[in-house]
């Protein structure tokens, strides 16, 4: 197994810090115009689709409006909501496009998502027992997670999670393990449940009462079904992109011992080998929220997503120089290996993957290697 020295880890930290600072020094009007134009596009597409769905009782209008609304919801969820709430556009100082004010068209309260995702996931990325995104508390996706018979059903309830992903995300920050172990007070749990209920009520009223009612009695049911279908489209797509970025072959999980006293360089390496990219066209990347560059996103979660494709070749070149893997592949390959992992680890057993280099070479090993090198006579 390739091991990185302390000097190499320090070098990795310097290179990635410099890349981050270089991009942020270059941010300007072109970047701001990108996100503003994308928000305008989303709103116009959503409005046009809602207008078409006023005639949803006619099949062509239903198909066109549902497809348009599904695409609009994907754009809002992936490239806009996720990234704005990450703080990627806070540098603009625009109060209307800011992580502290943005709320998205999904059942999860913004504050809960920012805690479970921005803080917990991006701080403790892929650390078993700390990162609740490792299996989302309902699936076994690493062999070192203790097996229990409930996991036998995970290939089946994973399908339900695909369809209703926004509701799984909404409940995620409750942290059922923390509730079970008494790490949350009853008041905190109640406040969090109440926030979820309030957001869920707004989503249900909007999509399943107000907009269907605008279509009149004749179009109420068909518009309700269209909204439901658009939400399913968004949920399945988000699930696929996120799972393909975290759980395909050659992505690695870590124990708490492995990340104890972790240096900045080691943190960068954990992000590199704990994530995976998805190959695709520029349009595909936008529809994926640029989370098809999950490696770059984990390295720089606060960087505007529109810059990930630009820096990807440089990230890959750094990986090659330090002999680190750069995990990428087509959607069908990444998605297929994710489903295989979910099926394989539904059963007992399975072996942890060997990591290619997040470990610092132990001082005693390094010293012994240097003594051996010095003992070799030099020849002219």
- pLDDT attached to residue 2: 58
Rounded CA-CA distance 54/32 in Å is 34
What average pLDDT is seen over the chain?
91
Q: pLDDT at residue 330 above 60? A: yes
Judged by average pLDDT, the poorest of 74-78, 346-350, 372-376 is 372-376
- pLDDT attached to residue 137: 86
Q: pLDDT at residue 379 above 80? A: no
Kindly state the tokens that stand for 135. 């299996």
Rounded CA-CA distance 215/277 in Å is 41
Judged by average pLDDT, the poorest of 87-96, 173-182, 370-379 is 370-379
- pLDDT attached to residue 285: 98
Q: pLDDT at residue 362 above 70? A: no
Closest among 82, 86, 62 to 74, alpha carbons compared? 82
Q: Which residue has the higher pLDDT, 353 or 87?
A: 87
Closest among 294, 278, 297, 271 to 357, alpha carbons compared? 271
- pLDDT attached to residue 6: 93
Closest among 345, 348, 318 to 139, alpha carbons compared? 345
Strand partners, 4: 360
| Domains of the chain by residue range | 6-344
- pLDDT attached to residue 352: 57
- pLDDT (tens digit per residue) in 201-226: 999 999 999 999 999 999 999 999 99
pLDDT band at 229 (very low <50, low <70, confident <90, very high): very high
Please give the average per-residue pLDDT across 331-353, as a whole number. Answer: 89
Kindly state the tokens that stand for 49. 């689709």
- pLDDT attached to residue 180: 87
Instruction: Give yes or no for a contact between 285 and 305, defined as CB atoms under 8 angstroms apart.
Output: no
Please give the average per-residue pLDDT across 18-41, as a whole number. Answer: 98
pLDDT band at 342 (very low <50, low <70, confident <90, very high): very high
Q: What angle do CA 28, 90, 237 make, to 5 degrees?
A: 100
Please give the average per-residue pLDDT across 72-80, as a whole number. Answer: 98
Q: pLDDT at residue 284 above 70? A: yes
Count of beta carbons in the 10 Å neighbourhood of residue 18: 10
Please give the average per-residue pLDDT across 344-373, as a whole number. Answer: 58
Say which DSSP state 53 is in.
G
Share of the chain above pLDDT 90, in %: 86
Share of the chain above pLDDT 70, in %: 92
The whole model's pTM is what? Answer: 0.89
Q: Which residue has the higher pLDDT, 286 or 352?
A: 286
Helix axes 216-246, 154-163, angle to 10 degrees: 130
Rounded CA-CA distance 355/369 in Å is 22
């Amino acid at each position: 197994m390739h091991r990185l020295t302390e000097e190499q880890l320090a070098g990795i930290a310097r290179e990635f810090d410099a890349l981050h600072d270089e991009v942020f020094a270059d941010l300007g009007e072109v970047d701001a115009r990108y996100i503003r134009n994308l928000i305008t596009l989303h709103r116009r597409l959503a409005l046009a689709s809602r207008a078409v769905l006023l005639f949803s009782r006619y099949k062509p209008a239903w198909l066109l409006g549902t497809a348009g609304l599904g695409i609009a919801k994907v754009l809002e969820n992936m490239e806009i909501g996720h990234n704005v709430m990450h703080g990627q556009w806070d540098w603009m100082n625009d109060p209307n496009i800011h992580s502290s004010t943005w709320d998205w068209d999904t059942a999860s309260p913004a504050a809960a998502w920012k805690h479970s995702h921005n803080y917990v996931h991006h701080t403790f990325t892929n650390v078993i027992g700390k990162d609740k995104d490792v299996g989302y508390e309902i699936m076994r996706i690493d062999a070192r997670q203790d097996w229990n018979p409930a996991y036998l059903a995970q290939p089946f309830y994973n399908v339900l999670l695909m369809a209703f992903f926004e509701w799984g995300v909404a409940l995620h920050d409750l942290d059922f393990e923390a509730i079970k172990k008494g790490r949350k007070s009853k008041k905190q749990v109640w406040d969090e449940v109440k926030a979820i209920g309030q957001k869920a009520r707004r989503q249900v009223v909007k999509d399943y009462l107000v907009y269907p009612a605008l279509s009149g009695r004749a179009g109420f049911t068909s518009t309700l079904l269209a909204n439901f279908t658009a939400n399913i489209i968004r949920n399945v797509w988000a699930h696929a992109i996120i799972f393909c970025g975290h759980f395909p072959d050659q992505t690695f999980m870590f124990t708490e011992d492995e990340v104890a006293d972790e240096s900045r360089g080691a943190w960068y390496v954990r992000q590199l080998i704990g994530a995976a990219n998805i190959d695709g066209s520029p349009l595909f990347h936008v529809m994926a929220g640029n989370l098809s560059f999950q490696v770059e996103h984990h390295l720089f979660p606060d960087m505007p997503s529109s810059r990930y494709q630009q820096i990807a070749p440089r990230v890959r070149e750094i990986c090659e120089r330090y002999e680190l893997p750069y995990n990428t592949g087509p959607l069908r390959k990444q998605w297929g290996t994710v489903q295989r992992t979910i099926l394989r680890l539904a059963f007992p057993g399975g072996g942890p993957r060997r990591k290619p280099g997040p470990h610092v070479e132990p001082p005693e090993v390094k010293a012994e290697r240097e003594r051996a090198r010095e003992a070799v006579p030099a020849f002219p």
